[in-house]
Amino acid sequence: MAIYERLYKYFGPSHWWPADTPFEIIVGAILTQNVAWKNVEKAIINLRDAGLLEPEAIYGTSKEELETLIRPAGFYRAKAKKLKAFVEHLRKRYNGSLSAMFSRPLTELRQEMLAIYGIGPETADAILCYAGNYPIMVMDVYTRRVFTRMGFFDDNISYDGMQAFFMDNLPEDQHLYKEYHALIDGLAKHFCRKNRPECQGCPLGDICPRIGVNI
């Protein structure tokens, strides 16, 4: 919590995830795999302009049209297949209702989502946390980088290991989990960069054991 409070004081509230609807969050969570968010935004604008930011609309459009619209997000063929797989599952299991899906218990729904093509732990947790408002914290490469450099993780820690570390040591609070994830990403993008970390001015600089080390 001390690290969270430092980051929040420095960056302020993030207002993340940037989206107008829960389904837009889901689309963004799938499209952002392995690509910068600025590219995802272009794809989402294309989908919005085409009237395809609804589950039934994506279900009814052709794979070829969907691929064309989401091309800016990269890996567009695979991601079109993933979007189709999600909306097909939603339609078959919940008659297209996100409300019905998000009424399921967290543990059961997470396992169900992990069985959908193209939905891994990070994507599932982003959907559950930000679209479904479940108390679960998302892990990613930024979390691994920051907390490995801070000395909390070893290089081989698993996704589940990282998640357990945070959720075992934080209050169960979905708003906290949402904000903390966004703050860590902000730190990694502005200071704790992969190849050339900008340690000067980092809000965690005075407590980071790696300051002064060639990271």
Predicted confidence at residue 18, as pLDDT, reads: 86
CA distance 138 to 21: 19
Contacts of 121 (CB under 8 A, 6+ apart): 114, 139, 159, 160, 163
Predicted confidence at residue 85, as pLDDT, reads: 98
CA distance 3 to 84: 39
CA distance 77 to 34: 14
Predicted confidence at residue 172, as pLDDT, reads: 96
Helix (H, G, I), strand (E, B) or coil at 11: helix
pLDDT 10s digits, 31-88: 999 999 999 999 999 999 999 999 999 999 999 999 999 999 999 999 999 999 999 9
Which of left, alpha, beta for 151 (phi over 0: left; psi -120 to 50: alpha)? left
C-beta atoms surrounding 59 within 10 Å: 16
pLDDT band at 155 (very low <50, low <70, confident <90, very high): confident
With the C-alpha atoms ordered 103, 22, 121, 170, is the resulting torsion angle positive or negative? negative
Q: Of 194, 188, 124, which is closest to residue 159 (Cα–Cα)?
A: 124
| Statement: residue 195 has pLDDT above 80 | yes
Predicted confidence at residue 2, as pLDDT, reads: 95
Mind listing the domains of the chain with CATH numbers? 2-13+138-207 (1.10.1670.10), 22-131 (1.10.340.30)
